[in-house]
Every structure is written in structure tokens, then in C-alpha cells.
Amino acid sequence: MLEVHDLACLRGDRVVFSGLSLRLSAGAALLLTGANGAGKSTMLRILTGLLRPAEGAVLWRGEDIALDPAAHAARLRYLSHQDALKPALTVAENLTFFAGLTGGSVEAALDAVALAPLADLPARVLSSGQKRRLALARLALAPVPLWLLDEPTTGLDAASVERLGPLLAAHRAAGGIVVAATHIPLPLPDAQELRL
Ligand SMILES: Nc1ncnc2c1ncn2[C@@H]1O[C@H](COP(=O)(O)OP(=O)(O)OP(=O)(O)O)[C@@H](O)[C@H]1O
């Protein structure tokens, strides 16, 4: 479903990576690993279509994602380093805003990350791990086939990392693909690893 052909990326005049090819089919998981600055976030941004590679192409079901960026954006959910929350809105209101874009049940998504008890708190008072969980709750809204996750477990306690396991497993069981940049092991059994 997702293919990368002979990808090269420049940042400034530095080659971050080159000659990179891979193919992920339905249900696959890929871990992007490597040292700080190796290009993990850069790779994820290329897979979103937000950043164009210097060479090569990203294909979805055989079609270059650059041909229809809106269609590609609609089939993916991207969790960047930033949690992209509105601090003045409550936890539930933040998720309702995203659900308005994506569809899906706010209550179920809050339950998936155990944030229902904090639903009425403004996002600005959440701890950093709770903010990350609220960002992760967007994954549990309406299903899309491609999840691109940049260090999804940053700030999470052990129970929250564990809770991510069933969410990732259900996505993959439904044929979804996960690509995650990480410095620590994630609950993604049988994931491939690409060390940049
Ligand atoms: N906007 C930019 N302009 C120039 N160089 C950039 C830009 N963004 C990133 N870089 C460089 O690209 C390289 C790859 O950065 P990237 O953020 O992809 O690394 P990473 O593997 O995700 O690192 P980390 O583990 O620290 O999150 C780094 O050397 C970084 O300095």
C-alpha cells in the first residue's frame, strides 16, 4: 500500500538520507530509529506529503502522493512532536474540534487514552503526559489507513504506553499501517525497523 522509491532528502545543503526504498502492506508497522538528527522526523514529514523529497517518490497504492495531496492528507493521521492542542478549550472540546474534521466518537477516544475523568478541564492545565495522551486520542477517532507517529510515547507513563498497544493492534488488524519514529521500544509486535 505504501511504497517509497529511492528517496533522498536534503536539509540546507546536507544530505540527510538517500537511496531509501521500502514497501509496507496492510497491517504493517515500521519503526524509524537512529541518532538525534538522523532524519526520522524528516522522513515522517515526507510521508505526510508536507515535505517534498529531493529525489524519489512516495506512492500510495501505486500512485505518487504528490499528485493528490488532499487525498493523501485525508487518509493519514500525523502526530508530530507538537501536541497541537488549543489550551483554552477543554479536553473534550479539543477532541470535538478534531472529530469535526475526521468524524468519530469523542467519548470512545477519551476512553481509549483514559482521559474521560479530565474531559472538562482546560487543556492548558494538563501535565505533559496528559497532553500527549490527548494528542494520541485523535488516533481513536474515525479510522484512516495510515498513522505517522513522531515519538508517540514522549512523556507517557508505563500504563499509558501499555494502553497504546491495543490501539495500535486494532488499527493494524483492520489493515492500517503504522510508521513511528522512536528512541524506545513501542508496543508494536513484528514491526520492521529502519535505522536511519
Ligand atoms: N528546517 C530545517 N532546515 C534545515 N535543516 C533542518 C531542518 N529541519 C531539520 N533539519 C536538519 O535535518 C536533520 C534531520 O532532522 P530530524 O528532525 O529529521 O532528525 P530526527 O532523527 O527526527 O532527530 P531527533 O531524534 O532528535 O528527533 C538534522 O540535522 C536537522 O538539523
Is the Cβ atom of 102 under 6 angstroms away from ligand 1? no
Is the Cβ atom of 42 under 6 angstroms away from ligand 1? yes
Terminal CA-CA length for the chain: 22
Compute the distance from residue 42 Cα to the ligand 1 centre, in Å.
6
Strand partners for 5: 57
Cβ-contact 179, 42 below 8 angstroms: no
Three cell numbers written together for 105: 466518537
Residue 109 has pLDDT above 90, yes or no: yes
Residue 12 has pLDDT above 90, yes or no: no
pLDDT tens digits, residue range 160-183? 999 999 999 999 999 999 999 999
Where residue 45 falls among pLDDT bands split at 50, 70, 90?
A: very high
Q: What is the ipTM of this complex?
A: 0.94
Where residue 79 falls among pLDDT bands split at 50, 70, 90?
A: very high
Residue 63 has pLDDT above 90, yes or no: yes
Cβ-contact 154, 182 below 8 angstroms: no
- Is the backbone of residue 143 left (phi > 0), alpha (psi -120 to 50) or beta? beta
Which atom of ligand 1 lies closest to the CA of 12?
4
Where residue 84 falls among pLDDT bands split at 50, 70, 90?
A: confident
Where residue 13 falls among pLDDT bands split at 50, 70, 90?
A: confident
Three cell numbers written together for 90: 477543554
141 burial via Cβ count (<10 Å: 0-12, 13-18, 19+): buried
Question: How does strand 55-60 pair with strand 2-11?
Answer: antiparallel
Cβ-contact 4, 148 below 8 angstroms: no
Nearest CA to ligand 1 atom 24: 36
Residue 11 has pLDDT above 90, yes or no: no
Question: What is the structure's pLDDT at 107?
Answer: 96
pLDDT tens digits, residue range 123-142? 999 999 999 999 999 999 99
Compute the distance from residue 28 Cα to the ligand 1 centre, in Å.
25
Instruction: Give Cα 67 to chain centroid, integer Å.
Output: 22
d(CA 54, CA 3): 16
Closest-CA residue to 63 (of 18, 8, 3): 3
Closest-CA residue to 36 (of 166, 133, 181, 152): 181
Residue 67 has pLDDT above 90, yes or no: yes
d(CA 66, CA 50): 9
Cβ-contact 191, 29 below 8 angstroms: yes
Question: What is the structure's pLDDT at 156?
Answer: 95
CA-CA distances (angstroms) from residue 193 to 5, 35, 79, 185? 17, 14, 19, 11
Residue 148 has pLDDT above 90, yes or no: yes
Three cell numbers written together for 137: 486520542
Is 0.80 surpassed by the pTM of this model? yes
Average pLDDT of the chain?
A: 95
Which of 15, 31, 42, when mutated, tests ligand 1's pocket best, judged by the most ligand atoms within 8 Å of its CB? 42
